[in-house]
Structure 1
Amino acid sequence: MSNSNLAGFISRHGLWNAEQQAAADKILKDFPGSGLRTVRASVADPQGKLRSKTLLPNIFKSAMKNGLDFTSAQFNFDSAEAIAYNPFTEDGGVGNSMMAGFPDLILVPDPLTFRELPWAKGTGWILGDMYFNDGTPVPFDARHLLKKAEADLRAEGYDYVAGLEVEFYVTRIVEQKLAPEDLGNLGIPPEPPVVEAIARGYAYQSEEQQDMIHELLETLSQHCMALGLPLRTMEDEMGPGQLEFTFDVQSGLEAADSMVLFRSMVKQVCARMGLHATFMARPGLANFCASGWHLHQSMNDAQGNNAFANMSGTSSLLSEPAMNFVGGLLTHAVAASVFTTPTINGYKRRKPNSLAPDRATWGHDNRAAMIRVQGGPGDRTSHVENRVGEPAANPYLYIGCQIAAGVDGLRRRLSPGPLETSPYEAVNRPLLPKNLMEAVNTLDGSAFFRETFGNTYVDWLLGIKRCEIRRFLAAHPNWAEEPDQVTDWEHREYFTRY
């Protein structure tokens, strides 16, 4: 049922800028002849997974003026829909009376994200932000948090630029496991499908193996281009059916939006082909290598020039502002771990000599470092690559924490210290958290992220993650005896959902 209080909600609260309004006007003008029969209105949940409603044309047109009633339930769920907070209390369990009783919130579509889904004929798609009925942003929606981080950087005179490098697995489904007893419940994920590899592995960037999956790669690339995702390259990675896709640079918000849409597209398209895609860092399958999400980043100045490039004629790898930005990334890397690596499973990547960092280091074109500098003096393309993230991370939090840390580096003129030539042996660099439990405790004590993101957000997120941790510890109380072993709990928790 519609909410009569929503009439003119978007304009009444000034929620769109001129560019968004112009885009909305064009969408509504072109809609009658577009051939679209439905539109999915989506929002990214706390895990960065899309939640959506499918709208008929008249409801979509209304939503583009009035917003859309949308449940608040997602903000009470952990990664397996276990109820982390009791909503039937005065403050909704999260310290906010407007969240009491599982109320409806308002999803406000962002017209700049509107697409037609090429794999679902006649279906449009639009991403949005969550607001309370009084027009204030819902503080638990991380897309708001990212937009604020970008605004803080703009206040320093720079725009953030990000390029995505994402690894993931595609397998072939042998048995769906759809019997009622396999479907799980709240807090119990469904039984994962039984799968097999789509190709042989362990031949890094083998052209023969890449040709074996040509049809899949061609399908995914065509969908990326149809969606306007700036795909650059595709390759067969180390493990069987492990792929890496890279994307050209975008703004922070555009890159985060691209990531949620890309992951959703890959999973949906693969499912239609009898395949199963997962962005779980290390599946519980024999001999499967870990996957990462490497985030390439730099800044543009007010003239649109790469502010990371050192064009001064000195020997410094990066400009002074870039050095300060990197200093911020390194200073806050340990506390940011929940944002970059939010699952129990993601920490199985963090081992010495594994191509994933185990401490907060930086190096020049060194894949053992957390921050890998690419470029050098006089190179206008100079930027850094953060290799710490897992592909299941919420992109708004991953990118948002990078910008926030970088802004702090700029404001305090933080130094990254000397380059490391042997990052895994660096004794003067802080070790990154070895597990989610350690990461949660570190974030809990972070004065910086509490001040930057707010106590309300940090405490709420910690509660979501602790609910996930409690379920893991209940299933595997002796996990520390084999900390590198991927448990059956992890495979069931993440292989299907992510």
Structure 2
Amino acid sequence: MSENISTATLKNLSTGRSGFIEMHNLWTPLQKAKAAEILAQIEDDGLEVIRMSFCDPHGLSRSKAVTASSFASVLRNGIDCSPGPFIFDTGLDLVFNPFERGGGLNDDEMTGAGSFVLVPDPETFRVLPWADKVGWIIGDEYFKSGRPVPFSSRQLLKRMLAEVEARDLQYVVGLEVEWYLTRLVDVKNDLESVGGFGSPGAAPVVAPVNLGYQFNSENLIDEVEGLIREIRSTLLSFGIPLRTTEHESGPGQMEFTFDPMPALEAADAMLLFRTTVKQLCARAGYHATFMCAPALSGFDASGWHLHQSLFDKSVGENVFVAQGEGEFVSEFATHFAGGLVRHAAATAIFAAPTVNGYKRFSDRFSLSPDRATWSADNRGTYLRVLGGPGDPATHFENRLGEPAANPYLYMASQLIAGLDGVDNKIDPGPLTDNPHEEDLPRLPSSLAQAADALDASELFRRSAGDAFVDFYLGLKRNEWRRYVQFLEEKGIREDQNSVTDWEQREYFRSY
């Protein structure tokens, strides 16, 4: 009688595609070395599962938990994942028909809703201290042919960073993120609150942790210091360079800032930061949200300000620093700003990708930008210049973003626009003292306007590709369609000064 096939052989065939990572040469030598270290750490720490995570187009973390005994095969083969996150919008409404040729996206490898292969990046591995014996790692999406999934946000950022690398430059990013901490009153996990595809269930009922409107109050932050301390220590244990924590204006509105990081590390850190905050708060009986403008009385809007500069790798110097007499920033930086200003409307949908994100740009919030311009250290502008002549920390702060933004797309959009400014020597115009001047070009005031601006952008169609742009527009226009349908059904007029129940259901829980 012949012997049964060994358990080890079967285990190796249980995930992904056999030998997929080596077959397509997907790892660097450093990643290969890290993979060996991960296996040793899993055994030493007695981990039971590893969450294989990736960022969907909407900026949400999706994951599949793999048992420790199977993870060695994942480090060789990757793991199969459903393409669902690429074909549903934020409310899980089906946008693209996977059963027509090309999967509704004119790509044969999307036909039939077949799985893609998620390949772990060993440099992103962490152990989650709040989840017993659980590891966490970010993956990159590939088709079974070995081709990167063209709709992957992390892949797009990596492609843009390769272009930066080819110029012997490094893109450096600092994060400044506002979010809300609330006390959970009713999680709304009852049958009457359940939603469906394209119709999210009820938002949780919450109460404010304080009454707010005492900016930077030491007393208000001290009232929740126990929880904030746990978040802070967890982030630092991950090696994420948290710099400051403070209480902002609104009731329980927090702001966390982080030291500058290489861009891919910063994007990965943002994904893990939001995951950490939401899960730690939920376990402690709170609800954290990165929704821009919650439908809660007295709650101010939150933003995500992206601090950015580029460094010359050969000499390790910031190329934004002024070199010539009479310059405020370098010629390179001026042209990079020119690209960001000229293409501001096309980048808006990546900085503010939700219906709700545009409620922050109403006249109620004077510190939020509404015009495409740049200014020296002005908190009301779109592109704020920090530093100046001779200051090695000179950089730009993009103040357009919302905390729910997909970090990979937000950063990639900045490079697409900024590098076009450099290549074509685009003039951003003079630095503006009044960034709300009527004669300055307006930024989009709705998701629909932002979608139209991206649709019309030859630059983004050329740099990100028609396939990606049309894919992303399909998702976002469907999101807007459902919102407008809600307004029509309720007889409500679209109002930038009003946040609807539709938005609260759509974003408050998931973000």
TM-score if structure 1 supplies the norm length?
0.97
Deviations 1:263-284, CA, capped at 9 Å, x for gaps = 1111010000100011000000
2:6 corresponds to which residue?
A: none
Q: Distance in 1 between matches of 2:506 and 2:379?
A: 29
CA deviations 1:28-69 (Å, max 9, x no partner) are: 233321221111111111111111111111211110111111
Contact 1:309-1:319 within 8 A present in 2 as well: yes
Q: Does 1:259 align with 2:270?
A: yes
Q: CA deviation at 1:224?
A: 0.7
Counterpart residue type for residue 502 of structure 2: W
Where in structure 2 are the equivalents of 1:148-297 lying within 5 Å?
A: 148-297=159-308
| CA displacement 1:384-422 (0-9 Å, x = unmatched) | 100000011111110110011111111112222100001
1:74 aligns with 2:72: no
Q: Where does 1:369-388 land on structure 2 (aligned, <5 Å)?
A: 369-388=381-400
Rounded to whole Å, the distance in 2 between the matches of 1:5 and 1:379 is 49
Q: Deviations over 1:295-333 (max 9, x none)?
A: 0000110222111122x3623221111111111111111
SS at match of 1:221: helix
1:445, distance to aligned residue in structure 2 (A) = 1.0
The answer to whether the 8 Å contact 1:420/1:426 transfers is no
Contact persistence 2:361–2:368 (CA under 8 A) = yes
Match 1:463 to one of 456, 474, 495:
474
- Could you tell me how far 1:152 is from its partner in structure 2? 1.2
Q: Percent identity of the aligned residues?
A: 48
Deviation of 1:25 after TM superposition, in Å, equals 2.0
Equivalent position of 1:6 in the other structure: 17
Asked whether the 8 Å contact 2:487–2:494 carries over to 1, the reply is no
1:481 is displaced (CA, Å) by 5.1
Tell me, yes or no, if the aligned pair for 2:15 and 2:77 is still in contact at 8 Å: no
CA contact (8 A) 1:118 1:227 kept: no
Whole-angstrom distance in 2 between the partners of 1:100 and 1:23 = 35
Who is 2:409 aligned against? 397
- State the distance in 2 between where 1:33 and 1:116 align: 12
Is the CA contact 1:199–1:213 (under 8 Å) kept in the aligned structure 2? no
The one-letter amino acid of 1:483's match is Q
2:372 to 360, 371, 387: 360
Distance 1:106 1:480, change over 3 A: same
1:35 is matched with 46
Which letter maps to 1:402? Q
Q: Does 1:424 align with 2:436?
A: yes
In structure 2, the residue matched to 1:490 is 503
Report the alpha carbon displacement of residue 84 of structure 1 after superposing the two structures with TM: 0.7
**What whole-Å deviation, never above 9, does each CA across 1:465-494 have from its counterpart, x for those lacking one?**
111111111110355453321011111111
**How many angstroms apart in 2 are the aligned matches of 1:291 and 1:30?**
38
> Alpha-carbon deviation of 1:4?
7.8
The structural deviation recorded for 1:176 is 1.4
- Counterpart CA distance in 2 for 1:142 and 1:150 is 12
- Aligned match of 1:410 in 418, 422, 426? 422
Per the alignment, residue 357 of structure 2 pairs with 346
Q: Which stretches in structure 2 are left out of the alignment for 5+ residues?
A: 1-10
- SS of 2:104's partner is coil
Checking the alignment, whether the CA contact within 8 Å between 1:296 and 1:384 is kept in structure 2 is yes
1:54 aligned counterpart, secondary structure: strand
Q: Contact 1:108–1:128 (CA<8 Å) still a contact in 2?
A: yes
* Paired amino acid for 1:347: Y
AA aligned opposite 1:411: D
C-alpha distance in 1 between matches for 2:69 and 2:16: 18
2:21 and 2:119 in contact (8 A); partners too: yes
Distance in 1 (CA, whole Å) between partners of 2:406 and 2:176 is 15
Change (3 A) 1:340 1:4: closer
> So what's the TM-score if we normalise by structure 2?
0.95
C-alpha separation between the residues in 2 aligned to 1:479 and 1:297? 40
Question: Is 1:3–1:69's contact at 8 Å kept on the other side of the alignment?
Answer: no
Q: How many Å apart are 1:14 and its aligned residue?
A: 0.6
2:328 pairs with 1:317: yes
The structure-2 alpha-carbon separation of the partners of 1:378 and 1:5, relative to structure 1 and needing over 3 Å to count, comes to closer
**Aligned match of 1:440:** 451
Which segment is superposed worse, 153-162 or 386-395?
153-162
Deviation at 1:186, TM superposition (A): 1.1
SS at match of 2:235: helix
Matched AA of 2:383: I
Mean CA deviation greater in 3-12 or 238-247? 3-12
2:160–2:416: 8 Å Cα contact kept in structure 1? yes
Q: 2:37 corresponds to which residue?
A: 26
- What is the CA deviation profile of residues 198-222 of structure 1, one whole-angstrom value per residue up to 9, with x for unaligned ones? 1120010011111111112111101
Q: CA–CA distance in 1 between the matches of 2:221 and 2:460?
A: 42
Per the alignment, do residues 5 and 424 of structure 1 end up closer, same or farther by CA in structure 2, a change over 3 Å counting? closer
